[in-house]
Amino acid sequence: MLLLTFVCLTYLTTANAVTLGTAAASDWGYWTASILKVDAVNSSIYTHTCGGVLLNTTGYGNSDRLWILSSARCFAENQITADWRVEVGRRHILDDDPSTVQLKPVSRIIRYPTYDINDYQVNDIALVKMGSRVSLNSRVGVAFLPSRTNENYVGRDCYLSGWGKLNSFDEDTAPEFILGGRAMQIADTFTISNADCSSQYPAIVNTMVCAMRSETEYPSPCGERDYGSPLICNAGSVNSPIYRAAGISTGQWPGQNCGDNSLTPIPLFTRVAPFITWIQDTVTNN
């Protein structure tokens, strides 16, 4: 058992991101989506607000290349579809290459029916339907759903991706953010069993999963703009990878930092596998 010690349009470039990552190569992290919300004052401005993952839903109705999996918490205060956009293909905030970056309207926002914003990570999962299909290319691709409801990826290579801040102490206007924090970051990590994670989270349930790189390194989502950022695991081999959506970044527990200092616990994610029947039924019927 692991020993886990818990020591107590126009885009605004304000975003949080995963910590302990590196800038993603142009053809890596291709499943990652940016979910943008309209500015409250200027309707021509959209800001990166949450992350998401482009799902492979082939075989479930007419749903292929239309659905993003994200965090229900992202839409706790606003579920008006006209206020949201989805973007895929971007690697850098300043990257506007129309041959790779695709901006889509949102036609449906569907949160898990029993999600409760006051219950932190429990059932924190949502589906976002885009108004038109994305085109797949070297920078835009899909991640597969887990193959069964009890599938886990303990010991598998996993990856967490997102944009913006690089550590707990950055401000959105800090020089390191302005100069270097706008590239999508991707961090290597791996999931651990709930039994091992329970030393920090005694109330952990099967709809949650923990991930870490080592006993001292916890690549983590960093703040509310990383709600929905995907945790993707390779269920295949090095030579024949199968990238599956293992987790979704969720609301942090009170006092949780960004995984980059000794005071933070391991990050918790919503485990995707227990929700695959709901996901399949939702994309088929909507």
Q: Tokens 């994670």 map to which residue?
A: 197
For the segment 45-95, what is each residue's pLDDT rounded down to a tens digit?
Answer: 888 888 999 999 999 999 999 999 999 999 999 999 999 999 999 877 666
Q: What is the pLDDT of residue 179?
A: 37
pLDDT at 168: 59
* Confidence class for position 107, pLDDT limits 50, 70, 90: very high
The DSSP call for residue 276 is H
Taking alpha carbons only, the member of 5, 93, 110, 2 closest to residue 46 is 93
- Exposure letters 121-134 (e unless 16+ CB within 10 A, then b): bbbbbbbbbbeeeb
Q: What is the pLDDT of residues 220-243, one digit of tens each?
A: 666 666 788 899 999 999 999 999
pLDDT band at 5 (very low <50, low <70, confident <90, very high): very low
Residue 177 clears pLDDT 50, i.e. is over it? no
pLDDT tens digits for range 189-232: 889 899 988 887 788 899 999 887 766 666 566 666 678 889 99
DSSP assignment of 68-102 equals EEE-GGGGSS---GGGEEEEES-SBTT---TTT-E
Question: What percent of the chain stands above pLDDT 90?
Answer: 46
**d(C-alpha 238, C-alpha 132), whole Å:** 33
pLDDT of residue 59: 93
DSSP category for residue 220: -
The whole-number pLDDT of residue 9 equals 37
Q: How high is the pLDDT of residue 258?
A: 61
Q: How far apart are CA 97 and CA 95, in angstroms?
A: 6
Domains and CATH numbers, the chain: 25-285 (2.40.10.10)
What is the share, in percent, of the chain residues with pLDDT greater than 70?
71
Q: How long a stretch of residues is the chain?
A: 286
With 60 as the cut, is the pLDDT of residue 33 above it? yes
Q: Are 72 and 124 in contact (CB under 8 A)?
A: yes
Could you tell me the two tokens for 45? 């401005």
Query: 262 or 125: whose pLDDT is higher?
Result: 125
